[in-house]
Structure 1
Amino acid sequence: MLDKHQKTIATFIHLSTFSRFIIPFGNFIGPLVLWIANKEKSEFVDNHGKQALNFQMSILLYAIIIGTITIPFFIFKILGGLDFIDFNGFHNFHINLGKPSPLLYIGGGLGALMIIAFIVELALIVKASLNARDGKLYNYPLTINFLK
């Protein structure tokens, strides 16, 4: 039988991922500290700790992949469109960006995808926290199980 303390710890494991807005890598440090301190006491807390950490590691991996794909599109567009020859001192500085290229649209689309993924991530963290509060197990979608 789950007691209130176990539910509270599991809830705070998920909510501690929001500490990344205050502490660098807080989305890993907060859940990791709470999980390590309480995983031996409860299988429920152990499960929620693993889920939260697996989800954060999966999100980091996905962000690295999308960022790695996105950045070259912007760099190629910016460097391909700049006209460095027209620099005539500070009196007549001209940058010719030209027409938008398909590379810029692809890069912008991937950037928009990252923003949408961020919003979905926040919603899933809140949903997992509410499930933990109610004593239910929660499995994040599209999560790679690094910790089993």
Structure 2
Amino acid sequence: MSDQNAPTPPPGHQDLPQQPPYDQPGPYGQQPPYGQQAPNGQQVPYGQQAPYGHPQGVQYQQSGPQNGTEPPLTRDGDRLVGTFDHLLNIVAPAVGPLILWLVTRRRGPLADSEGREALNFGITAAIVYVGIGVISLLSLIGGPLALIVPLLYPLLWVAVVVYAILGAVQANKGLPYRYPVTFRFVS
């Protein structure tokens, strides 16, 4: 089909070679259409992606240990996990350190000890948060506690932030940290 409004080429002009239709294999260096195999079992050219499920695509080796155990953390990774164990108490007391400790406790000694310590501190802080909540419910009746209880939540949060940062700094140095007032639920 030709377009009637298209300009006519000047005499002696050579047309550029046209691309083959999409359903026909093209010249070397072009990827075959999606879902079709390259003609004559040719390899997909370098730098181009083979279609999904194509047998000639790159075969990746499974990395990591084959027996189902996690690889041990490096020394820096162990310190980093210990640092984050403490810092997670700021945003999610008890829950954040619990999740991180369960994932990394068998991968490094500092990750295990600091995760356990941060978890114990987070549980203690959560119990105190609940205790303040109960006291605030009782103070609704009235009395002198009604003036003091609203100040306890911010004070507890500041204490959690300060001790979590102190623990994170110690863990980042590779040293264990013990919170001063903590019930040891997980040992």
- TM-score (normalizing by structure 2): 0.56
Runs of 4+ in 1 over 4 A off after TM superposition: none
- RMSD between aligned residues: 1.7
Asked if residue 41 in structure 1 is aligned to residue 132 in structure 2, the reply is no
Asked if residue 68 in structure 1 is aligned to residue 134 in structure 2, the reply is yes
Segment of structure 1 superposing worse, 45-54 or 111-120: 111-120
Once the two structures are superposed, the pairs formed by residues 13-92 of structure 1 within 5 Å of their partners are 13-20=85-92, 27-74=93-140, 76-77=141-142
Amino acid at match of 1:110: V
- TM-score (normalizing by structure 1): 0.69
Q: 1:3 aligns with which of 72, 75, 80?
A: 75
The residue number in structure 2 matching 1:85 is none
> Cα distance 1:29–1:60, how it changes in 2: closer, same or farther (>3 A)?
closer
Amino acid at match of 1:54: N
Q: Structure 2: how far apart are the matches of 1:19 and 1:116?
A: 15
| Identical residues among aligned pairs (%) | 23
The 8 Å contact of residues 71 and 107 in structure 1, kept in 2 or not, is answered as: no
Asked if residue 146 in structure 1 is aligned to residue 174 in structure 2, the reply is no
Task: Flag structure 1 segments of 5+ consecutive residues without an equivalent.
Answer: 21-26, 78-102
Structure with the larger helix share: 1
Q: Which has the larger radius of gyration?
A: 2
Segment of structure 1 superposing worse, 113-122 or 44-53: 113-122
Displacement, 1:47? 0.8
Q: 1:12 aligns with which of 84, 87, 100?
A: 84
Displacement, 1:19? 3.8
Task: Flag structure 2 segments of 5+ consecutive residues without an equivalent.
Answer: 1-73
